[in-house]
């Protein structure tokens, strides 16, 4: 790479970094302004709510006073006292919330003596009632209280109108900030795409120059190797000892090549035997099973009337056993292939993978009441199809063994453990298991429940362990009989793997 190309690349990266930084600053500032504006909108809503609550509490106080005047019952006095206390509390909160608005503070200053007068009139009316005053006194005090209340309502209406004006202004500002944020984000996305395209084109050009330089270097190397071989040939003719050494080296190479060929042949033979075994399992064993199933079905159709109930039950047992054997063969083949399949490592988003698995699982569990709890899942490095099979097996197990529960609960958790690995777990509140048999869970054909209780072949968890081990992780399980089970597995964190 010449100096000009290097300068161009550095300049491109500097410009791209500066542009992206500027866009990030603008986007942050716009977002911060939006958050601040929305905080003030919420503050205005709180002030409006306080204004409405103040009117409500004054109305409650008046209702308590009238109730006592009309009925003489003490419970109305309690209602009045509570309302009067809340009026003072709400007014204090309203004054605190409007501390930033001098106009609203002046209104609060004007409201405070009026509210005291209003409550004083209430107290005087209640005292007069207790002393046995006549209706004329109560009428006079009521009219006096109404005059004060009209002034209070006028001031409160002013406060409400002022706050609603502020609310409208702040909402407009929030919408403007939102538009600005969207515009900055859009411009940033377009600019970032343009800069990345520019940098990509520069990299392509530099890659082309590098390939040309590599081609020239390779040509030079070939010419040099040719000269070396020519010089070696000349030296070999001169030195007899070197000739003998060359023959010995050649002999060793031939022996090594022969060993490699023999080992390759052995490996090819082993692979062929394995393929023959797979074919035998998939064909020679499946065919008799299909024949058995077919003949049982023919027997059921043609001789059903001649068979008694017990014989028909025997035919049903044969059919179910044949199907079970077919499932065992299929699962055994899948287990065998999983051990030989190449692990194609890519970046796998576990959240997206879990959404796919849950979409299928919810269709299978339709009609059941299931409470799902999901942690956010990270991205890992692994074979997507294999990791999907891990989640399918674990979620299927949780659905199957929680089936007896009227309300099933399935939790998917993820966290970092002490070894700095991602630790995943699937918990259910189903049948559970006895921990003394935990070491059998991940073995081939190992089952802790009868087939009559829960269907299955005992291959699923063995497949989970094999896949996780091939990804460099571990598997284990914890459970308690009739209280549920939790299955764990770990995977390396791709950000810490060197």
Q: pLDDT tens-digit profile of 219-257?
A: 877 877 787 787 777 767 777 666 777 888 888 888 888
Kindly give the residue spans of alpha helices, DSSP state H, lying in 72-134: 74-97, 102-130
**Residue 222 CB contacts under 8 Å (≥ 6 apart), including other chains:** none
What pLDDT score was predicted for residue 333?
63
What pLDDT score was predicted for residue 6?
64
What pLDDT score was predicted for residue 230?
79
The domain 342-492 is placed in CATH, from the list 1.20.1270.10, 3.30.160.270, 3.40.50.300, 3.30.565.10, at: 3.30.565.10
Contact 95, 115 (CB under 8 A): no
Answer whether residue 275 shows pLDDT above 50. Answer: no
How does pLDDT run across 141-198, given as a tens digit for each residue? Answer: 888 888 888 888 898 888 888 888 888 888 888 888 788 877 877 877 777 667 767 7
Could you tell me the sign of the dihedral formed by the alpha carbons of 80, 83, 87, 88, in that order? positive
- DSSP assignment of 160-178, as one string? HHHHHHHHHHHHHHHHHHH
Question: Between the CA of residue 310 and those of 167, 178, 297, 307, 313, what are the distances in Å?
Answer: 82, 76, 16, 8, 5
The lowest-confidence range among 49-53, 276-280, 361-365 is: 276-280
Answer whether residue 324 shows pLDDT above 90. Answer: no
Question: Between the CA of residue 67 and those of 51, 62, 70, 141, 475, what are the distances in Å?
Answer: 24, 9, 5, 15, 72
How many residues are listed for the chain in this entry?
498
Helices 74-97, 3-71: inter-axial angle, 10-degree rounding: 150
Tell me whether residue 464 is exposed, middle or buried, using C-beta atoms within 10 angstroms of its C-beta: 0 to 12, 13 to 18, 19 or more: buried
3-state secondary structure at position 491:
strand
Tell me whether residue 276 is exposed, middle or buried, using C-beta atoms within 10 angstroms of its C-beta: 0 to 12, 13 to 18, 19 or more: exposed
**Residue 97 CB contacts under 8 Å (≥ 6 apart), including other chains:** 43, 46, 47, 50
What pLDDT score was predicted for residue 458?
63
How does pLDDT run across 436-460, given as a tens digit for each residue? Answer: 877 778 766 555 555 545 555 567 7
How far is residue 51's CA from residue 66's CA, in Å, rounded to a whole number? 23
How does pLDDT run across 57-99, given as a tens digit for each residue? Answer: 888 888 888 888 888 788 888 888 888 888 888 888 888 888 8
What pLDDT score was predicted for residue 28?
74
- Between 98 and 293, name the one with better pLDDT: 98
Is the pTM for the entire model greater than 0.75?
no
What pLDDT score was predicted for residue 326?
67
Answer whether residue 139 shows pLDDT above 80. Answer: yes
Encoding tokens for residue 477?
């399980």
Task: Please provide the average confidence, as pLDDT, over all residues in the chain.
Answer: 80
Query: What's the rounded mean pLDDT across residues 315-339?
Result: 67
The helix or strand, by DSSP H or E, that contains position 346, with its residue range, turns out to be: strand 346-349
3-200 is a CATH 3.40.640.10 domain: no
């Amino acid at each position: 790479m010449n100096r000009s190309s290097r300068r161009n690349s550095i300049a491109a990266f500097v410009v791209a970094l500066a542009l992206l930084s500027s866009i990030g600053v603008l986007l942050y500032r716009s977002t911060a302004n939006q958050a601040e504006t929305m905080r003030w909108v919420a503050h205005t809503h709180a002030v409006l709510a306080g204004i409405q609550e103040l009117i409500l509490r004054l109305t409650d106080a008046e209702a308590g006073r009238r109730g006592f005047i009309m009925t003489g019952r003490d419970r109305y006095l309690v209602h009045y006292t509570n309302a009067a206390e809340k009026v003072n509390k709400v007014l204090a909160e309203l004054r605190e919330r409007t501390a930033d608005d001098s106009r609203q503070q002046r209104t609060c200053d004007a409201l405070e003596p009026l509210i005291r007068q209003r409550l004083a009139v209430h107290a005087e009316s209640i005292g007069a009632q207790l002393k046995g005053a006549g209706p004329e006194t109560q009428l006079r005090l009521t009219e006096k209280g109404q005059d004060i209340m009209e002034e209070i309502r006028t001031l409160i209406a002013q406060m409400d109108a002022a706050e609603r004006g502020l609310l409208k202004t702040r909402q407009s500002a929030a919408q403007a900030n939102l538009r600005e944020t969207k515009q900055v984000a859009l411009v940033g996305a377009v600019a970032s795409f343009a800069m990345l395209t520019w940098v990509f084109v520069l990299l392509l050009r530099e890659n082309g120059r590098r390939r040309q330089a590599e081609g020239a270097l390779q040509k030079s190397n070939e010419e040099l190797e040719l000269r070396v071989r020519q010089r070696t040939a000349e030296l070999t003719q001169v030195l007899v000892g070197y000739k003998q050494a060359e023959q010995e080296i050649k002999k060793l190479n031939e022996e090594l090549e022969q060993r490699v060929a023999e080992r390759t042949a052995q490996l090819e033979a082993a692979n062929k035997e394995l393929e023959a075994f797979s074919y035998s399992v998939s064909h020679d064993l499946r065919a008799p099973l299909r024949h058995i199933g077919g003949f049982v079905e023919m027997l059921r159709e043609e001789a059903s009337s001649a068979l008694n109930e017990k014989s028909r039950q025997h035919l049903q047992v044969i059919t179910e056993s044949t199907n079970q054997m077919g499932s065992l063969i299929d699962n055994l083949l899948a287990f065998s292939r999983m051990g030989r399949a190449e692990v194609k490592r890519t970046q796998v988003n576990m959240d997206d993978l879990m959404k796919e698995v849950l979409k299928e699982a919810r269709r299978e569990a339709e009609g059941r009441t299931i409470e799902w709890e999901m942690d956010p899942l990270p991205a890992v490095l692994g074979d997507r199809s294999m990791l999907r099979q891990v989640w399918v097996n674990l979620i299927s197990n949780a659905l199957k063994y929680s089936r007896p529960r009227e309300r099933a609960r399935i939790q998917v958790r993820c966290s970092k453990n002490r070894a700095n690995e991602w630790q995943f777990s699937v918990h259910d509140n189903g049948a559970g298991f006895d921990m003394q048999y935990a070491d059998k869970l991940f073995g081939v054909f190992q089952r802790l429940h009868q087939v009559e209780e829960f269907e299955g072949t005992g291959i699923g968890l063995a497949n989970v362990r094999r896949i996780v081990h091939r990804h460099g992780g571990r598997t284990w399980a914890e459970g308690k009989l009739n209280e549920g089970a939790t299955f764990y597995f770990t995977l390396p964190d791709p950000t810490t793997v060197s």
